[in-house]
Amino acid sequence: DTEVTQTPKHLVMGMTNKKSLKCEQHMGHRAMYWYKQKAKKPPELMFVYSYEKLSINESVPSRFSPECPNSSLLNLHLHALQPEDSALYLCASSQDGAPPAGTGYGYTFGSGTRLTVV
Amino acid sequence: TQLLEQSPQFLSIQEGENLTVYCNSSSVFSSLQWYRQEPGEGPVLLVTVVTGGEVKKLKRLTFQFGDARKDSSLHITAAQPGDTGLYLCAGGPGTYKYIFGTGTRLKVLA
């Protein structure tokens, strides 16, 4: 299995709603990531989990709350979002966040969740 | 702050033409990846380069990592409509924090 699966594919939520995005991988990757991508822009890093522990939070507002229940699963809990949070949310995984010298590990991305906040 | 600038931003060419996309930075990267992203999908990894001066080929795509590991290029020979997409480079300084380039949007016309 060489995929990262994200659900749902599309999500429309109101500003007072609580919802969760889910991500799953079974490649044995120990680093998992959340990225946010606005239209016609590159992905922007939000969070990094390494060995199920949060290692990077890129100053993301607290209305986004990540969770890593186990090495295969990554969730992003959403609460009280704003319309400007509408974007494509991408999950990715990699073998390890810190490649040893002489090697390089790329990401495997999921197809993303298209989020619209109304 | 590390930045990866890609050029050109947009490229529209006819099928069969050749093209080169550039990815430049003032910082040194331990590795650099190239991705292609289609609308509504996540980026798909094309290649990883790790050694200064390294050249890798993937069918009609040729990737080069600069000698100083600060820049990279992607050359496509005889472009096809299926090559259409957003091309992204991403650099890793050796930690979890890979930085994506500004992107090059390619359209190949039949």
Q: Is B99 exposed, middle or buried (0-12, 13-18, 19+ CB in 10 A)?
A: buried
pLDDT-derived band of residue A97, with 50, 70 and 90 as boundaries? low
Q: Which two tokens stand for residue A23?
A: 């991500």
Bridge-based pairing state of the strands A10-13 and A4-7: unpaired
- Mean pLDDT of the A61-65 span: 97
pLDDT at B17: 98
pLDDT at A102: 36
CA A30, A33, A38 angle in degrees (round to 5)? 165
Rounded to the nearest angstrom, the gap between the alpha carbon of residue B31 and the centroid of all alpha carbons in its chain is 13
Which is nearest to B66 in space by CA: B47, B51, B80, B85?
B51
A79, pLDDT greater than 80: yes
Reported in sequence order, the residue ranges of chain B that DSSP labels E, i.e. its strands, are: 5-7, 10-14, 19-24, 31-37, 44-49, 55-58, 61-65, 71-76, 85-92, 99-100, 104-109
How far is CA B15 from each of CA A60, B12, B19, B22, B104, rounded to the nearest angstrom?
A: 42, 10, 11, 20, 17
Q: Is B87 exposed, middle or buried (0-12, 13-18, 19+ CB in 10 A)?
A: buried
Tell me the residues of chain A between 62 and 101 that have a Cβ less than 8 Å away from chain B.
Answer: 88, 90, 92, 97-99, 101
B94, pLDDT greater than 70: no
Segment B37-93, tens digit of pLDDT: 998 899 999 998 888 999 999 999 999 999 999 999 999 999 999 999 999 999 876
Closest CB to B48 among A33, A41, A104:
A104
Q: Which two tokens stand for residue A88?
A: 């494509």
On chain B, the residues whose CB falls within 8 A of the CB of A56 are 96-97
pLDDT at A103: 47
Per the CB < 8 A criterion, the answer to whether B37 and B82 are in contact is no
Segment A10-59, tens digit of pLDDT: 999 999 999 999 999 999 888 899 999 999 899 999 999 988 999 889 89
Q: Cβ contact (<8 Å) for A99 and B100?
A: no
A78, pLDDT greater than 90: yes
Secondary structure letter of residue A16 according to DSSP: T
pLDDT at A89: 98
